[in-house]
Structure formats: structure tokens, C-alpha cells
Structure 1
Amino acid sequence: MSGKRALVTGACGFIGSMVCERLLDKGYEVRGTDLETADRSGIEELDIEFVAADLTEKDEIREAVRDVDVIFHTAALFSYSSLIDWEVFEAVNVNGTENLCEAAVEEGVGSLVHWSTCGVYGPPKDDLVPVKEDHPKNPESKYDLSKWLQEKKAMEYHGENGFQVKAIRPASVYGPGNTYGAAQVFLAIGNGLLRIYPLHCDYHFSIAHVEDVVRAAVHLDENGEGGEAYNVVDNADYTAARLIKETAAMMGKRVYGLPIDCKMYERLANLRYFVPPMEMAYDALDREPPFEADALHYLKGNYWMDNTKLLETGFELSYPSFRDGMPETVEWYEEQGMM
């Protein structure tokens, strides 16, 4: 059993609440923090301490980090919407992380496991796939750029007063409970909005089950090397076409191969320049759009990630293939009436 005292930022969120559960199972004493206005229903039955704090408020964060051994930093503004200004991403994700790390160092916190994203690489270079952690970074969306700057900011504090920083870079996360990001693609298939796939394009796409992402983060607290980042993806090798076809089959939906190559597939990503008016229309109706402008840049590259570095720490995946985790995910969507 661990015996450590852990702080989880973004504790009320989809991933944050699961981190809290995992830490409790591993014997950690857990404190969660999130905005005062956050919905606490996901953690209200957990045996944790809750301290409301805003990452942009230094005094509040200092109170939250006091007397903890390790921080699991899941909190972030996660959105691919074109309607959110860069300054908002910077204030929350970058400057908020600076506040957190500064307070942690001053309060003598031992370590931080930071949530980054595989989106920091941007469209990977074809001669460097599957992508390892040292791949050049060229994030395209505002969100992914903020996560890269956030990760770099956290790493600036590595080694100060003994503070150890480790980062995880999850691929697109799926699993029961997830309704954003990769879930939007799967739900588009389930609801008949995505009915085609490219016949002549072998671009790959990596994903990770949420339970493996959470387990990897806790594993790396004990087994990861400070100052290092780790891709968190499953073992399978999917093309975008295969992912769409197999998801559709699990959902009982029909999809059709379109005779287009990768170049034409990439051109579809440029539709993102026409998406903001649609987003504005949905926003005016107080509804979520089926997809968002910045998410379409994932059509522009071979997003195939390598997990060798993570596995070399002794980590074992519970969901090594999308086939292992997608059936329960589809079942959850159906139970929630989402498709």
C-alpha cells in the first residue's frame, strides 16, 4: 500500500474522478481540487478531502497543495472550439500550471504527474512513425499548443527543491463515461453522421482506454523517471478506415468506402475554416456541435504513436486493443441514450 498523500487537480472531471478512485484503491490518501462551481457528483461518494481552488488564483492553489506528497495534474481547459480565445487557454492551462508548480515547490511537494497529450506532436513526419517521445513538436490547435507550453512550463520546475516532474501524453481517450474528443467521432458513427471512410489512405490513428491512462499515471508515480514524458496508447495498429469500419460494425451501422487518397483526406481537414459559423449557430441555440474546427486537424497526418517507453517501465495494458474496450463503451453510450 502506498501511504502517500496525493492531490488530484480537476478532480470533478471525467478523468480526475477516475484518478481519485484509482489512488484510493492503491492506498493513497487523496485530496481533490476543482473549481468551487464544479459538479462534484462523480466524487461525492469517494472517501477524499475536497478543497475548492482556481488554478489562476495563487493563494487558493497554495492552500490545496499544502502537505501533499504528489500531485496528479489533470485539470485543464479541454476544447477544440474555435470560439475560445487563445488568451483563455494560456491563462488556465499555461499560467495555471505555473501557479501550481510554483506553489508545489515552495510547499515542498515531492513530485507531479502531469497530463499532456499526444497532440503536442502535431501532424507527425511520415519517416518518424510510429511517433516516439522525442519527435519534433508542432501542435496545430490552440488546445494542443497550450498543452505543449503547459508541459514545458511544468518541466521547468523539475529538480527545484527536489521536485520531480513526469508527464504522460495520452492519445485520444475512449471508454465509458467519455463524451468528448474521440467520443465525438464514435458517436457520429453511431448516430449516422459519419458514414464514409477513405479507401486509399493508410493513415493511422492511436487511441487509449481511459482506465489504462489512469493506471499508467499512477504507475509512473512509482516507476517513471523524473524529467521524462511517456506516450500512453494501446498496442494496436489501426488505420482510420479500420477504426471507422470496426466501430460501425460493433454499433450495427453501415459505412461506405470512398475512393479517395490521403491527399484528398487531408483536404477535408481544411473544412475547419468553414466550421466556426456552424459552431456559432449551435452556441446560439445552447447546443453542442457534432464536431469542432480544431478537431479536424487530426485528419491531416499519420497519428500513430509508440508506447515502448511506457511498457519498458513494467506497465501492462488492461486494454491492449480497441476491440477489448469498445464493446463496453458502445453499451454505455446506448444506456445513456446517446445513440
Structure 2
Amino acid sequence: MAVALVTGANGFLGNYVCREILDRGYDVVRLSRGSTVEDEKASPLSAKPTASEICKIIDERQAAIVYHLAGTSQASDLEALYQANVFFAQSILSAAASAKSPPKVILIGSAAEYGRPVNSDMISRESDTCSPLSAYGISKLAQTHHGLAASEAGLCVTIARLFNPIGVGSPATTALGSFVRQIASMPTGGGILRTGSLHSTRDFIDVAEAASAIVRLSLLSDVQGKVYNVCAGAGVRLQDLVSQLIEVSGIAVQHQIESTRRGTSDIDTVIGSNDRLRSVGLDISKPDFRSVLEKMLSHERAIVRKS
């Protein structure tokens, strides 16, 4: 059975990607930083993994693919941000290149790499010049450049540039994840939903569809050395999603906008083109938002009841 190594396997996207890989007959081994526990399905890494320790695991497990999903937008300082988003990725790439049988490497990028849209239609394309505005976006773009350089040197690397995944398990660090948790914690009589400005438009995608597209992309030939937007190609206003969320909640929710609450981006519109993804036979449809929101809310309410 072919083996896939996965970093960030316990994260939001990681859980869905692991399920998708398993469904396709791969044996999944989780790489976990800072862990001291090792079993058949997991390999511990040091807090700051080196290429040599990762290479040893690749060789021992005879990995065919490495999915590098680990990363953060919430680091305490710049050094921690670059350790998570750049140095770890570089160690993965160096390890893969040094392995006895170099595996494919899939790097997860971010829409934050683009910065403000440069096209009149407000759609971001892989051929656009990237000008990220945040330290997070800059660090993810640095990861992309390292990946493309490794590809030029002969390693099979593909970058999946992820837009805005939503679904059951969305972390509280995301706007929608935070809003769902607030409503899930309200009594049956309702309560106040506190948000910042909801004027932004984003390319939201179902995380399960995103995971499927990433795994299917990794199994294609002739995709190495390229960046692929993983997006639906359509924007939705955050205000509209919040209105739907309040509607499906079934309780009296008062919406209160607080100027002190701010998101992580000052960019109003973030929408990607999925033309390149579709050119290789892959497509991500616009989510059934009502269904997704109902599932997210039901999941969080179940957690609240158990607590």
C-alpha cells in the first residue's frame, strides 16, 4: 500500500485531507511537531524539524507523497510565523530531495499571497504578480517560491493555493467559525452576535470539496512546478452568510457590529479564478451555504451540550 505523509493532519483541513487519502487506498502517516508519541500511524518531529529527521522518516516509511498542510496565521511573533510557514516547508522540501526515492510534495498556499486584486474584474489568477499585504501572506508566498525553486531543481512539487474553506470544524480563528460558536453557545431564547464589519466578499468553498481537489490534484501527472488556485471562482458577501446563519439558527439573534472587532485583512474582495484547476479536469462548485451552515451549527451545539 502506498504511503502518504501528512503534516498538519490534526488541523481543520488536515482531517478532511486524511479522510480523502484513506478513501483512495493510501496509508496515512501523520507527522506531528513537538510530539513524543510514535505509533504505526504517526511519526513525531522536533518542534523545529530538520531536513535530516524528516528524510529519515520518508525513507523508513517509503512515502510516495508528502502533503504539507501545517502552517499558521496566528503566530506570536515574526520568527514563529516564519518557522511555521517557511522554515518547516524548506525542511520538507530538502528532505524530499535527499530521500532515496524522492516523493511528490504538495504545498498548501493561501489566497493571502495575492494581496489586492490587480485585475479589473477583481479575480486573482495564478499568473498575477503577488503583492501580499500581511506578514502571513508574505510568509506563504516565500513558501511558494521555495517550492517552485525545488521543482526547478528536479523535485516534483505542486502548490495548491487555498482560498476560504468552511465546514464542520472551522476554527474559531476564522470569522465564520467564531460566529457559529457564538450562536451555538446562546440559550434557546437567543442572544447577541457580535461581529466586526461584514462588508468583505470572499471565495468560500466547502472544505470537503477543497480536500478532494487537493488530493486529486496530487495524483495527476504534469502538474508539478505549478500553482493552482483551489477556489470556486465566485464571491459571497460575509454579510449574506451571517444573515443565513442567523436564519438557520432558529433562535432570536440580535446582530451587533463592534468597531473594535477587526478581521485579519483589509482587502475587501478576495476571489480566485479556477480556470487552471478546471483545465486539469478538477472543479469546485459554489457551496450549498444553508446546508453547510446548518451542519456547522449542529456540530458546535452538540459540543456545547457535552461541555
> What TM-score do you get using the length of structure 2 for normalisation?
0.82
- Which of 224, 242, 245 is the aligned partner of 2:243? 245
Taking a change above 3 Å as real, the CA distance of residues 240 and 30 of structure 1, as seen in their structure-2 partners, is closer
> d(CA) in 2 for partners of 1:88 and 1:119?
18
2:82 matched residue in structure 1: 90
- Mapped partners of 2:225, 2:183: distance in 1: 39
Distance 2:10 2:138 in 1: 24
* Structure 1 residues 208 and 334, CA gap change in structure 2 (3 angstroms): same
1:301 aligns with 2:301: no
Matches within 5 A, 1:7-156: 7-37=5-35, 49-54=41-46, 55-66=48-59, 67-76=62-71, 78-80=72-74, 84-107=76-99, 108-125=101-118, 127-156=120-149
Is the 1:9–1:74 Cα contact (8 Å) retained in structure 2?
yes
Match of 1:175 in 2: 167
Counterparts in 2 of 1:10 and 1:80: CA distance versus 1, 3 Å = closer
User: How far does residue 184 in structure 1 lie from its aligned partner after superposition?
Assistant: 2.3
Contact 1:204/1:238, CA 8 A, preserved across alignment = yes
Q: 1:184 aligns with which of 178, 181, 204?
A: 178
1:207 counterpart (184, 191, 204): 204
Structure 1 residues 329 and 256, CA gap change in structure 2 (3 angstroms): closer
CA distance 1:92–1:305, change in 2 (3 Å) = same
Runs of 5+ in structure 2 lacking a partner?
A: 187-191
Distance 1:36 1:196 in 2: 35
Consecutive unaligned residues in structure 1, runs of 5 or more: 259-264, 272-290
Shift of 1:15: 2.4
8 Å Cα contact 1:30-1:49 kept in structure 2: yes
Shift of 1:128: 4.5
How far 1:307 sits from its partner (Å)? 2.1
| Residue 236 of structure 1: how far off its partner (Å) | 4.5
Question: In the alignment, which residue of structure 1 is the partner of 2:189?
Answer: none
* CA gap 1:332/1:322 in 2 versus in 1, 3 angstroms: same
The alignment's C-alpha RMSD in Å is 3.1
Go from structure 1 to structure 2 and tell me whether the alpha carbon gap of 1:255 and 1:241 turns closer, same or farther (over 3 Å shift): farther
Percent identity, please.
Answer: 21
Q: Hey, which of these two has a bigger chunk of strand by percent?
A: 2
The 8 Å contact of residues 210 and 284 in structure 2, kept in 1 or not, is answered as no
More helix by share: 1
Displacement of 1:172: 2.1
1:110/1:129 Cα in 2 relative to 1: closer, same or farther (>3 Å)? Answer: same
Please say if residues 195 and 255 of structure 1, whose CA atoms lie closer than 8 Å, have aligned partners that are also in contact: no
Q: 1:328 to 1:236 in 2, by over 3 A?
A: farther
Structure 1 residue identity aligned to 2:65: V
Counterpart-to-counterpart distance in 1, 2:150 and 2:121: 29
**Contact 1:245 1:255 survives alignment (8 Å):** no
Call closer, same or farther: CA 1:38–1:313 in 2, change over 3 Å: farther
How far does residue 12 in structure 1 lie from its aligned partner after superposition?
Answer: 2.8
**Superimposed CA distance per residue, residues 179-233 of structure 1 (whole angstroms, 9 cap, x where no aligned partner):** 23241244456663436866xx6x5211122211211111101236111112222
SS at match of 1:144: helix
Asked whether the 8 Å contact 2:35–2:45 carries over to 1, the reply is no
Deviation at 1:57, TM superposition (A): 2.4
CA distances 1:72-91 after superposition (whole Å, capped 9, x unpaired):
11112x1336xx11111112
Would the aligned equivalents of 2:228 and 2:276 in 1 still touch at CA under 8 Å?
yes
Secondary structure at the aligned position of 2:35 is classed as coil
Deviation for aligned residue 1:169: 1.5
What secondary structure is seen at the aligned counterpart in 2 of 1:168? strand
Counterpart amino acid of 1:127?
S
Equivalent residue letter for 1:234: A
Q: Is the 8 A contact 1:56 1:91 kept in 2?
A: no
State the SS of the aligned residue for 2:83.
helix
Q: Tell me, in whole angstroms, the C-alpha distance in 2 between the residues paired with 1:104 and 1:208.
A: 30
